[in-house]
Chain A
């Protein structure tokens, strides 16, 4: 049935093309946004169902329709597995008429999904993945990378520490695309700032016992042990470090800290730790207003990727409206030519490589005494201008 409908549609479209009518408007009479994320695993809290909520909020705030056509949101769990995610997205774009895919958490999944989307000429709206590959070595005219990336983390968190005299680094790295990318770019920053990487160990995603890795880190004699992992992995690694007394002999630095993870940690272990983030709910009235609405619906304060998912959806829908079509090329052009400006995106613009450049925040985790509420987690130490945080665009990724 579906295939038949498609054939008819294709026939109708070819007739339209033959008669010289510009193929404008909305394909399939609906704008469909898919949200793909880890819904129950180690990354469920930092995007997951919260990303679905955020996208739905954006659609509602936009009015539920664009160019007179309804906007529909579908979602799926990728279980952090590239095969699951890419098979789902393939079915979405080939069989179910999805126009863009939002969410996207584990960089391994995002890598596989963006390839499928680029082949199908559909847009990837990447909210929570960290790897910078999607706008560098795996860049594509259909990738939009919103919230942050590993370059921003390295420039924001690592460089100041090296400059402050912490020269010898050891990494405990999540063993897949994201961890490798973060370790790689942080190592470059360390070496160019006069520091030295004395070793690294790779731990599989979802490791629960970090003791042998912590012992390796301890034996290395490093000043700083960088945790190039995220989510529950980061929490477990930090806990084990404290158990084995590593936190007393060296600085343990989380390179990617999400508010939910920071909240779950014992302040006695985590207080004072610095982190780079793309968003913090308690920055000003605008962020507080949106975050309160989000919390009311979702039950917890937004993680940066969830806020990013909202902001990005808004920008995408606005672009469809302005371009008068949901055709991916036209929408991408429109998105890159208008500057996003909302509670999330400050001093922001979408670069031709798909990188959204905006102000990042350097924060530190508060100690127990200075927290006014359970959500009061960070002190904002500094604002990092977008052009400092993000690395410059590569010429081969300049998609105009």
Chain B
């Protein structure tokens, strides 16, 4: 009951927020929150640390950007195509990565993401270091002009809510229960007759698709797809957001993304710009040493309640 109230309150907050805060900033938070939710599905609920999720964010972004620029299709189709491509890439990368576990899984995903990085750096259609610039936001369903920031915001909010709901559904489904069983005790899950690698792979694909959805949306918001989205820094950032917010919690990634994007926004451009990485590094160390449940996790312990 109380949790329902929380949802209603948050939704109301999200609806009025753009009248007070710069909408592009809010959209950035939402895109990264979705990205972190997708990532958390793997780390928090299956226990797989992917260090290469930027590849899926970037794939969504580049494919959507390219289609919007070259074919002028409507934005919802562009986003669908971007998400689909990210899912396909996730299918391939996932097949390879689930062959290894633990630390090796992290290294394999990182290396595969670097492969994607060089692909986007060198492919003739991605614009290399320039990225894809001036991507039109287009007209939603051919009717609603998204070039206005307010309209765009509510579109992004709808996408975010959809993604958030997807993660929520997945976690609370029987499928999600098996994932958690794998996280807690993989040998037991094997002995119960589950083909663990297939489950891991399926979770990987869902996660990759949602990361791609976040990337596609982000490209529309900023009208740009660039190498930053596929760089390993981005993979590290999403780990940080999830860890800081609280992995394995539903709201953790949202909070983590909000905090990290706010810090970045506050510091970018100024004299303090280079401190961003130092601060991120310190947060990593503090989280690992003393704050492993993250903001939401610690809060849940405090109020003895689980918002999942």
Contact = CB atoms under 8 A, between A and B. Distances in A.
Q: Do A and B contact each other directly (Cβ–Cβ < 8 Å)?
A: yes
Interface of A: 1-3, 39-40, 75-77, 79, 81-84, 86-88, 90-91, 94-95, 107-108, 111-112, 115-116, 175-177, 204-205
B58 to A, nearest CB: 11
A89 to B, nearest CB: 10
B158 to A, nearest CB: 21
A86 B225 CA distance: 11
A87 B273 contact: no
A10 to B, nearest CB: 13
Interface in B147-176: 149
A96 to B, nearest CB: 9
Interface of A is mostly: helix
Given A90-B24, A111-B130, A112-B133, A83 B228 contact: yes
Given A83-B224, A86-B222, A91 B24 contact: yes
Contacts of A175: 121, 128-129
Contacts of B149: 94
Interface of B is mostly: helix
Interface string B34-47: 00000000000000
A82 B128 contact: no
A217 to B, nearest CB: 20
A83 B268 contact: no
A94 B149 CA distance: 10
Interface of B: 19-20, 22, 24-25, 28, 121, 128-131, 133-134, 149, 222-224, 226-229, 268-270, 273-274
Residue with the highest number of chain A CB atoms closer than 10 Å, among B20, B224, B227? B224
A87 B228 CA distance: 13
A83 B22 contact: no
A84 B228 contact: yes
Nearest to A80: B129
Contacts of A87: 24, 28, 222
A115 B130 contact: no
Contacts of A1: 20
Nearest to B18: A3
Contacts of B223: 86, 115-116
B215 to A, nearest CB: 12
B54 to A, nearest CB: 13
B129 A177 contact: yes
B226 A94 contact: no
Contacts of A86: 133, 222-224
A75 B268 CA distance: 11
